[in-house]
């Protein structure tokens, strides 16, 4: 059954019929399992990865930043309560507990650099036990969610003909 989740994670548009064919399971079993995962919250949502630079007349109107956050841990909860509070902000797209020099890494989106800066100075840094932040602005996206944002090199091999 894990195979179904792995396939959906790679391509959420796969139909239940296609998943059944790929896994060798009956369609009814695939459909029932997916419905159970959706109800239990295992499957959180389905989404598309969009390359906004390729949309006609569209410029990316958002600025993305990775923000490393140092947190003083609290007895009994560690970093979880601060991570949960940070995750509630609309600007925050992801929040991870990480190893290294900082404790949390957050992906934050704003309408411009000033909006992200205001988020860090007025909301994030004022949370109790947040001791430091380091902000890294995304300049260009090469790969996101497993999808590359560049054209593949053409195949220069000679055709094999019978």
| Beta strand segments in the chain, E | 63-71, 92-97, 104-110, 130-137, 143-144, 147-148
State pLDDT tens for residues 50-98.
777 777 765 667 899 999 999 999 999 899 999 999 999 999 999 999 9
5: Cα separation from own chain's centroid: 16
Give the class (CATH, top level) of 63-144. alpha beta
pLDDT for the residue numbered 60:
61
Average pLDDT over residues 6-23: 92
State pLDDT tens for residues 97-138.
999 999 999 999 999 999 999 999 999 999 999 999 999 999
Extents of the domains making up the chain: 2-40, 63-144
pLDDT band at 155 (very low <50, low <70, confident <90, very high): confident
Cβ(120)–Cβ(102) under 8 Å? no
What's the pTM value of the predicted model, to 2 decimals?
0.72
Cβ(43)–Cβ(34) under 8 Å? yes
Does residue 3 surpass a pLDDT of 70? Answer: yes
Give the full edge-to-edge strand order of the sheet including 130-137: 92-97, 104-110, 63-71, 130-137
96 or 144: whose pLDDT is higher? 96
Torsions phi, psi for 20 (to 5 deg):
-65, -45
pLDDT for the residue numbered 57:
62
Cβ(111)–Cβ(62) under 8 Å? yes
């Amino acid at each position: 059954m894990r195979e179904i989740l792995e396939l959906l994670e790679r391509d959420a548009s796969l139909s239940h019929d296609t998943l059944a064919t790929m896994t060798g399971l009956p369609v009814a079993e695939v459909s029932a399992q997916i419905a159970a995962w959706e109800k239990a919250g295992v499957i959180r949502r389905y989404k598309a990865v969009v390359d906004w630079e390729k949309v006609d007349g569209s410029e990316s109107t958002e600025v993305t930043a990775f923000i490393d956050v140092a947190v003083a841990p609290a007895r009994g909860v560690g970093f979880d309560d601060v991570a949960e509070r940070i995750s509630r902000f609309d600007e925050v797209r992801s929040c991870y507990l990480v190893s290294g020099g900082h404790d949390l890494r957050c992906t934050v989106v704003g309408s411009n650099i000033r909006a992200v800066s205001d988020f860090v100075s007025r909301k994030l840094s004022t949370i109790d036990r947040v001791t430091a932040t380091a902000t890294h602005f995304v300049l260009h996206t090469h790969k996101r969610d497993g999808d590359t944002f560049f054209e593949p090199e053409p195949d220069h091999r000679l055709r094999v003909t019978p």
